[in-house]
Structure 1
Amino acid sequence: MAFHNPQRIARLVVDAGANKAVMSVPNTLVLGFLAGAFISLGFLLNIRVVANLPSEWGSFTSLLGGAVFPLGVILVVLAGGELLTGNMLALTMATLARRATLGQLSRNWLLVVVSNFVGALFVAYFFGHIVGLTGTGVFLTETVATAQEKVDHSFTQALISGIGCNWLVCLAIWMAYGADDISGKILAIWFPIMGFVTIGFQNVVANMFVIPAAIFAGHMSWVDYFSNFVPVLIGNAIGGSLFVAFMYGFVYRKEIRLVESHVNKVKSKVVDFKI
């Protein structure tokens, strides 16, 4: 399986972030909805797999759930989607390379967080609540227990957990850019995502599914949800932007500057031709 070295990955991530920065609003919203739904389907699969497993299996249950959850991120990367936690890497790298502005970064993140939320709510309400996939029997018990564990974290705990989560998620996205074929991308995504789920780190988009699913079933409240949303969002932003984008941006700053220089030269030639 062919793969790119980290220097090449840095350039690919910058290019991807620059394209995301200028994506139209309708396209961003549709792809954001899909990404939120895809991550929720991965979480729904997790719940359906682990809910019936015996308690004696202990942490092996978490491993099995973590093994199937990556479906969501695989769908986002291969089928296409705008995922907030992944864009915390790409848009930040593009901004560091001066291929995007802070305004474009903020615009993208805002559109994507809203559309991810709508996509997650869609799956939680229609598949989870209406169909009953998270609202009955052991599946309800697992959904509520998972959601309760997340909202029981203090602000600091949720924030730090969010850092760990998106550090791994953005490393998965980073490595996926390094693979040229589908099998390589799936392997690159699977291990880090499996790791963050098995460990129990908090992901803001995944929580958009599981906590509302518990709320639709009559447990917890929207106050509980938003009390969790804020620290996890901040933690995910730090994990993706600082621990991956800024650090790799610093290490491979020469490669990123080459990309910036090349783009400026191309723009200059276009202007000269028009004149």
Structure 2
Amino acid sequence: MDTQRDLYPHEILQEIISKTESKANASLKMLSILSFLGGAYVGFGYLAYLKVVSGIPAQWSGLAALLGAAVFPICLICILIGGGELATGNMMIMALGKYTRRVRFSKLLRNWLLVSVGNLAGALFVAYFLGHYVGLSEGAAINKTIAIAQSKVNMDFGRSFVSAIACNWLVCMGIWFYFGAKQTSGRILAMWFPVMIFVLIGFQHFVANMVMIPAGIFAGAPITWGQFFTNMLPVFLGNVVGGTSFVAASYLYAYKHLLKDDYSI
């Protein structure tokens, strides 16, 4: 394989599968640190989004949403290029390891659990210390912060679940594109648009909600922590389906005949 050119879809599949075992066997210390960073980076993306949308007049709401969505992908750039663990991306990656018998189910659950908890810690850190204490999600942005948080928790289970499926379908495609590109500039451009589009549409993302809803609670929104954790369930499940089925399983069964012989399925 020419390592200088971008990869074809079946080669992207092969590349991701080759990384599943190392991710499954990562130490507790590594997962804890990198997942905390991943959650914090999502928080940075959200604060950037708020800064943009809260500074544009309401009559230009469409432009505000577009520009806000355009800055949010900094979070995935930091995670994939700088280093970080993201629960939603790992839903796709670890599923491929399990489907190809590279990763035991217990290892998959361990990764998902540890990374989810670490993401939550990083997200809450940013939401409280930067969003609330420093005031980046309050002040001029407080109305938008509260409105976003309420829109997340007010969506019923079924709609949250379906929205979350579409969300992680796009997020995992961004990660898929990242593995397909070989230059840093190409990787940034490739992952940018799927993430931007999920934010622009307003889909439900497990880790983003860990920032958005608590930021609203800290800002005084009439939302309880019980409502926050209730929202986490359908969004987690929907993100799992989006990553494991619409990306991992779909591409695996489309291209499995093109994989190398040492990948038994």
TM-score (norm 1): 0.92
Match of 1:247 in 2: 250
- For residues 258 and 204 of structure 1, the distance between their equivalents in structure 2, rounded to whole angstroms, comes to 36
Deviation at 1:95, TM superposition (A): 1.1
Is 1:105 the counterpart of 2:108 in the alignment? Answer: yes
Q: What is the CA deviation profile of residues 20-57 of structure 1, one whole-angstrom value per residue up to 9, with x for unaligned ones?
A: 10111110111000000001100110001111211111
Q: Which residue, 8, 27, 38 being the options, matches 1:5?
A: 8
SS in 2 for 1:237: helix
Is 1:210 the counterpart of 2:212 in the alignment? Answer: yes
- For residues 241 and 160 of structure 1, the distance between their equivalents in structure 2, rounded to whole angstroms, comes to 14
Deviation at 1:218, TM superposition (A): 2.2
Q: Which residue, 120, 144, 147 being the options, matches 1:145?
A: 147
Q: Which residue, 89, 92, 95 being the options, matches 1:89?
A: 92
- For residues 258 and 187 of structure 1, the distance between their equivalents in structure 2, rounded to whole angstroms, comes to 32
Q: Which residue, 54, 57, 69 being the options, matches 1:54?
A: 57
Q: 1:95 to 1:251 in 2, by over 3 A?
A: same
Give the conservation status (yes or no) of the 8 Å contact 1:11–1:259: no
Extract unaligned runs of 5+ from structure 2: none
Match of 1:78 in 2: 81
Extract unaligned runs of 5+ from structure 1: 262-275
Match of 2:238 in 1: 235
Deviation at 1:254, TM superposition (A): 2.6
| Residues matched between the structures, number | 260
SS in 2 for 1:258: coil
Root mean square deviation, CA, Å: 1.2
- For residues 44 and 258 of structure 1, the distance between their equivalents in structure 2, rounded to whole angstroms, comes to 46
Runs of 4+ aligned residues of structure 1 deviating over 2 Å after TM superposition are 254-261
SS in 2 for 1:252: helix
- For residues 15 and 39 of structure 1, the distance between their equivalents in structure 2, rounded to whole angstroms, comes to 26
- For residues 239 and 50 of structure 2, the distance between their equivalents in structure 1, rounded to whole angstroms, comes to 23
- For residues 17 and 82 of structure 1, the distance between their equivalents in structure 2, rounded to whole angstroms, comes to 13
Q: What is the CA deviation profile of residues 162-196 of structure 1, one whole-angstrom value per residue up to 9, with x for unaligned ones?
A: 00100000000001000011111001110100110
Give the conservation status (yes or no) of the 8 Å contact 2:45–2:75: yes
- For residues 168 and 259 of structure 1, the distance between their equivalents in structure 2, rounded to whole angstroms, comes to 29
Letter in 2 for 1:170: C
Deviation at 1:259, TM superposition (A): 4.0
